[in-house]
Amino acid sequence: MNRPGRQFNGGLLSVMAVTTAESPPAQNDEQLLARFAAGDRQALDELFQRYRQLAYRVAYRLLGQEADALDAVQDGFIKALTHLEGFRGQSAFKTWLLRVVSNAALDLGRKRGRRESLSLNGAADSERHDGYPRTLDDPARDLERADLRRLLDQALATLPEAQRQTFVLHADGELSYREVADVLGISIGTVMSRLFYARQKLRAYLAKRIQL
């Protein structure tokens, strides 16, 4: 018997069609959480697949280091799923998870300190020796992507913690003002204010090194 995944000649389209037809409709978070509470291990995998990128992006921006960010993601998922009563009926699981992950990341950052890779001493490396900032429009002289990422990390590290968390939850966590306000327990006006000053500082830092 031919297994769909082993067909080579002209089998791909039919395999894809079968896969699509048999795929169950995606369940919403509440359904997955109910399955998880009932002991369904697969539900945990699906929740992880659904939110791991978002959680990791937030944690990475707050910590600037992959391993630490994954630790924060792990810690955040555990805390979010063991304290589900803290969010039920008040917010979406995504919002709850990002709140816990971002707090876990900040806790981790305080314990370990942001890694030396974010040291502002390294920022001078990204400045050109001829005194002109590099431009993103010139591939030949662009910063390498990793360097640019490090530059953004360094810029974020200059922000006060409250501004950094607010900015990251909005820019990387894709939360609305209302959701950020709920997560942090602050007013929308404060969210707006923190975002304004966070971006102003980030721009000021980056403008000395790259052309925005």
Partner 1 sequence: MTRDRDNLPPAPEALLAGYVDGELTAAERAAVETRLARDPAAAAEVEGQRALLRLWPTVPPPEPSPFLWARTLTGITAGLAVAGAVPTAVVRAVKLPARRPAWFRAALRWTGAAAAVLLVLVLNPMAPHEPAPVPAAEPFPVATSEDVDIVTLNAADADRLVVGNVPVRGPLDLAAPGDVVVVSIQPDVDGMLPYLRIHAENPSPMIVAPLDPTDTPAP
Shortest distance in whole angstroms from residue 2 CB to partner 1:
28
**Residue 186: exposure state from Cβ atoms within 10 A (0-12, 13-18, ≥19):** middle
Which C-beta is closer to partner 1: that of 79 or that of 92? Answer: 79
Phi and psi at 49, nearest 5°, equal -60, -35
For the CB of residue 128, give the shortest distance to partner 1 in the complex, in Å: 18
Find out whether 72 and 101 touch, Cβ atoms under 8 Å.
yes
Out of 12, 17, 34, 78, name the contact with partner 1 by CB under 8 A.
Answer: 78
Footprint of partner 1 on 130-189 (CB under 8 A): 136, 145-146, 148-149, 152, 170-172, 176-178, 187-189
In terms of CB distance, is 21 or 38 closer to partner 1? Answer: 38
Burial of 82 (0-12, 13-18, 19+ CB in 10 A): exposed
Q: What is d(CA 48, CA 106) in angstroms, rounded to the nearest whole number?
A: 21
Helices 41-63 and 29-37 pack at an angle, to 10 degrees, of 120
Residues near partner 1, by CB under 8 A = 39, 41, 44-45, 48, 52, 56-57, 60-61, 66, 69-70, 73-75, 77-78, 81-82, 116-117, 136, 145-146, 148-149, 152, 170-172, 176-178, 187-190, 192-193, 195-197, 199-200, 202-203, 206-207, 212
